[in-house]
A = this chain, B = another copy of it.
Amino acid sequence: MAESDALTHVRPDGAAHMVDVSNKPVTARIASAQAVLHTRPDVIALLVAGELPKGEALAVARLAGIMAAKQTSALIPLCHPLPVSGVTVDFTTDESSVRIVTTVKTTGVTGVEMEALTAASVAALTVYDMIKAVDRSARVTDIEVLSKSGGASGDWSRE
Per-residue 0/1 for A13-35: is the Cβ within 8 Å of any B Cβ (1 yes, 0 no)?
11111111110000010000000
Q: Any chain B CB within 8 A of the CB of A94?
A: no
Point out the residue from B9, B85, B88, B113 that lies within 8 Å of A17, measured CB to CB: B88
How many residues of A are counted as interface, with CB atoms below 8 angstroms from the partner's CB atoms? 93
- Say whether B76 contacts A125, CB under 8 Å: yes
Closest partner residue, chain B, to A143 (CB atom): B140
- Copies assembled: 6
Q: How far is the CB of A18 from chain B (nearest CB, A)?
A: 4
- Nearest-neighbour CB distance to chain B for A15, whole angstroms, equals 6
User: Complex: how many Å from CA A30 to CA B142?
Assistant: 27
**A interface residues, Cβ below 8 angstroms from B:** 3-11, 13-22, 28, 46-47, 51-57, 59-60, 62-64, 66-71, 73-90, 105-109, 113-114, 117-118, 121-122, 124-126, 128-145, 148, 156, 158
What are 7 A-B contacts with C-beta separation under 8 Å? A4-B133, A16-B60, A55-B56, A63-B63, A64-B77, A67-B67, A139-B142
